[in-house]
Structure 1
């Protein structure tokens, strides 16, 4: 193994003797057998008892970084040959030369690993391919394979969701202790090309993970050619047949290359025996080492990391990035060397979980730059729990255990560094340790955990690499965008004010119902109210302001009860935005809180703005978010929100609660409401002129790119008609009048059964049936939704509950202005004050 090739003991003998695990060689493509490349350890994992511990990966065993890199380049050379990048006449000679150098490096011959790297890095004709490495173990190995191909774009999977990066795909690694993999390319187009896809992992055991991966990616972007590259190939005949059959079903070619082939023979009871072995030893030789902080110090080394250079392949690493890193390595290694103890002769460069490639290349440059008698080794921390036994015949001799320190998506947990502490053999001790992390992981938990333990072993140098981040869009604020004060709301929207998006109402309706367009791709012409209608708005506001203040107070108190004093209201633009501002103002009025408030877009049928969610998640705990809207109709947006957030959680690992707080819930589809009465909320009476002069949100692929927020327009030209502040001020003026009643009623309201029963949805189905409407999207229940129909759709008729009085005065006026009949219906027919029916003459069945 990389730790001590001269010890003469295979670091798998201990496991083989106790569990009966045996390695059997198959083909030797480069002359190395399985026992040359792997040792054995015992997992703390109920799915698989044994762990193959690579001698050339540098994950668990400190290894010469040039052996690690050279092995990856050699695997890449096999891929290059498979893809036709090597002349057949050269292959046999080169094959023997590479294999000989690898064998010498494994046996510890000084300079052999460096010679292997130098030989494999000679300039060759580049091969255009996409290379995908598996997190976390194979991230540097995949990088190295891509380096060998020259022209390849590289991406590795990740278990860390990152704000601002959309998910290209994901897949499962069935035997792993942590299975979910995300693909987060910064530019999906670079990876969505008609070139071969190379999948790189450290071992190929059954091929199920490969099948899962290719199936997921082929569904997104079919390809004709796949190559699977692994250090060792342990598949049985059945596993090989499964991949061949899978390739035939896809109509694609799948090749497999590896440095060594064979199989692992396992007794039938190996899982039970392995668990028993772990249980028996965990409290003794397997327990974490108690390494205390000090007496050594920590020095921080400024690497001088090139600006804009990605720290690795999490979001993509291109040939030009490789060239920039190559140019900068020697200088960065020199900056690290300046902090090392003067007479250090045994140095460890320790990487961090998925951040393997940068520490590997830095370790190689450090080894190249220091005198030849200085032994530089490389390994990384890991999530994988493995039993440690301090025996030369066992691959994992010692284990440091420490808490995670990078705010992982799956929550805090244990992390490990193997073979870093010397154990019982002082010759294994390091004179200095260089810890290389990304800045996301440079946290107080690092200092208190891993770094404190390293300080107990050797002088430590900490080198921090900037995590690659997308320069995402910034929020919009009034008065530059919208008429609300900047402190009231941050609009997570793209400004489309200069774009002509309005279309005649009947033209839009025809396109939507015919399926030629989506309603969010354009905007209706803004309705400008008549003097009589404006008078009705002010009368309605005066009559309902106290009722609205009470409802705003109730839902704010419920939000604070559910989310705490650091709640984050996120309103669904645009109807939810005035309500979100009222929530924010009540929190300040009643509790002195200054809550952040965002407005984001959700589009029925297309989901919520993922870029906006990423922006919020980068700044706040998603568990503190409460989504806010004005009212419910039949509950379509409530359902859309829940479905969109489930999808977001599955893709990113970030879980936003799907609760929706509204002033009025006549649809009975949420438990967070001020009232379930269907009454006039004056902000529904108008369009942008009561919503900060901001349009409906727009999701038009011609205008909204992958990294953009959804869009909207600011109608600054309508400022003379703007009553947005009038509405808010009128309601806020009543806060004092209702505060005592809110406080008195709140305990009972919180204790009451407020579960949704979705009776509004059933009512819509009844109405649709009674009026011969096949598409429920053409039925808009409630005062707010009916108002919208009259303002910006093509209305057919209005159903008004018999006995509804002044609260429908604006509905009757709008209907009269547009020549729309108002039909009085029995209160048993509808649980709403009114229902608007969109004209079905353009054809039914098209989702709005």
Structure 2
């Protein structure tokens, strides 16, 4: 199937080769305020730029986890910041649930500084954000990392494979027992030649799992000249990460607990995650939806997107960590009960997003846990 999409930034030509779900069910398209890459594939199922039902997100997690049910363990999942911190955790969670496995560990890369040892650092070619950092796992997980046989790298879409190949290579050098590396994405745009290059870079058997495979080309418009913030540097004091956020590892499939969030006052509810902090707010949104609430989930982002097409409105504000970085909430909720989730309650003190949305603040670090 071929499709041509005309954007302010230029023209996208897409060829779909294989799809488990239709292209238009998975993606929309927008112009990106980034001269390195003027187009953006806007996921309809990620819960990021477009609000999404938690049940739809869980279906995506289950679909991507199903081919992994029999992989040898331990299984290490790495989600890419910021877009796939929630996706990676969700797929790992679904694998642990579906296969009743207790050997699944999830961790995500981050763009934030922690007061602990860095393990792996690498850059993302088309991003204006800081380099990815992967911190040394918590002591409780280090032996399971060392013994792991399967490494699963998760991103929402793979267009060149270079970033994941960098990470796969560096981790394969550190984890000598890895027998296979699996790249999981909602959409895979790699050509056979690019997949071969990823395989050669990583130096281990590599396989690919996605819901849609295809190729695309982009012809930029010379009239499109976006301005972009400079390279973002991390200047805030070192962040004290919560153990359950995933920056240093989470054991999936053990006794599953979700944070107990605020109970909505209205039937219609929007739960908003902030930046990399997506999975725990998603679990609360999912819990509410299962109890009959009309719930949508979305999260803030560093990614500037031009208005138009799937982006009807966009709020701009400084980040909650005190870096002075422009953040955005695309397609913000304008009705119902709005709950904005922060991993630390104090992050909301000088953050004006709750005021812009008229929403309530949920500091997850002060929440009790509740059986899922």
Smaller-chain TM-score range? 0.7 to 0.9
Q: How do 1:82-121 residues align onto structure 2 when only pairs under 5 Å count? A: 83=71
Residue 466 and residue 271 in structure 1: after superposition, are their counterparts in 2 closer, same or farther (change >3 A)? farther
Which of 24, 31, 39 in structure 2 is aligned with 1:35?
24
Provide the C-alpha distance between the structure 2 equivalents of 1:235 and 1:160, rounded to a whole number of angstroms: 29
Question: Match for 2:310 among 395, 407, 410?
Answer: 395
Bigger proportion of residues as helix:
1
List per-residue Cα deviations over 1:520-544 (Å, max 9, x = no partner). Answer: xxxxxxxxxxxxxxxxxxxxxxxxx
In structure 1, the residue matched to 2:200 is: 245
Deviations 1:738-782 (A, max 9, x none): xxxxxxxxxxxxxxxxxxxxxxxxxxxxxxxxxxxxxxxxxxxxx
**What TM-score results when the alignment is normalised by the length of structure 1?**
0.38
Distance 1:235 1:27 in 2: 12
The aligned residue for residue 335 of structure 2 is: 430
- Is structure 2 residue 33 aligned with structure 1 residue 44? yes
Matched, 1:381 2:286: no
Q: Do structure 1's residue 229 and structure 2's residue 184 form an aligned pair? A: yes
Deviation at 1:23, TM superposition (A): 2.4
Q: After superposition, give the CA deviation of every residue in 1:636-671 in whole Å (9 maximum; x if it has no partner).
A: xxxxxxxxxxxxxxxxxxxxxxxxxxxxxxxxxxxx
1:465 to 342, 364, 371: 364
Q: CA deviation at 1:375?
A: 2.2
| Structure 1 unmatched runs, 5+ | 1-11, 85-126, 283-307, 422-428, 468-848
Secondary structure of 1:169 counterpart: strand
What are the within-5 Å matches in structure 2 for residues 649-668 of structure 1? Answer: none
Name the residue aligned to 1:350.
272
Aligned partner of 2:284 in structure 1 is: 362
**Distance in 1, Cα, partners of 2:9 & 2:79:** 33
Greater fraction of residues in strand: 2
Provide the residue aligned with 2:110 in structure 1: 158
Identify the residue that residue 312 of structure 1 maps to in structure 2.
245
SS at match of 1:141: helix
Q: Match for residue 255 of structure 2?
A: 323
**How far is 1:309 from its partner?**
8.0
TM-score (norm 2): 0.85
Matched with 2:14 is 23
For residues 690-731 of structure 1, give each alpha carbon's deviation from its aligned partner in whole angstroms, at most 9, with x where no partner exists: xxxxxxxxxxxxxxxxxxxxxxxxxxxxxxxxxxxxxxxxxx
5 Å matches for 1:566-715? Answer: none
Paired residue for 2:214? 262
* Secondary structure in 1 matching 2:269: strand
RMSD between aligned residues = 2.6
Pairwise CA distance, 1:415? 0.7
- The answer for unaligned runs of 5 or more in structure 2 is 97-102, 229-240, 367-372
Cα displacement (A) at 1:451: 1.6
Deviation, structure 1 residue 15: 4.1
- Post-superposition shift, 1:319? 2.8
How many Å apart are 1:177 and its aligned residue? 2.1
Specify which of 353, 359, 367 is matched with residue 450 of structure 1: 353
Greater than 6 Å deviation, 4+ residue runs: none
How many matched pairs? 343
Shift of 1:352: 0.7
Partner of 2:62: 73
Q: Following the alignment from structure 1 to structure 2, what is the Cα–Cα distance between the partners of residues 27 and 191?
A: 33
- The structure-2 alpha-carbon separation of the partners of 1:271 and 1:218, relative to structure 1 and needing over 3 Å to count, comes to farther
Higher alpha-carbon Rg = 1
Shift of 1:212: 0.9
Q: Choose from 162, 174, 177 the match for 1:208.
A: 162
Superposition deviation, residue 272 in structure 1 = 3.8
In 1, Cα distance between equivalents of 2:148 and 2:9: 49
Which protein, 1 or 2, shows the higher relative CO under an 8 Å CA cutoff with sep ≥ 6?
A: 2
Report how far residue 77 of structure 1 moved.
1.4
**What are the Cα deviations for residues 457-476 of structure 1, in whole angstroms up to 9, with x where unaligned?**
xxx22111129xxxxxxxxx
1:354 counterpart SS class: coil
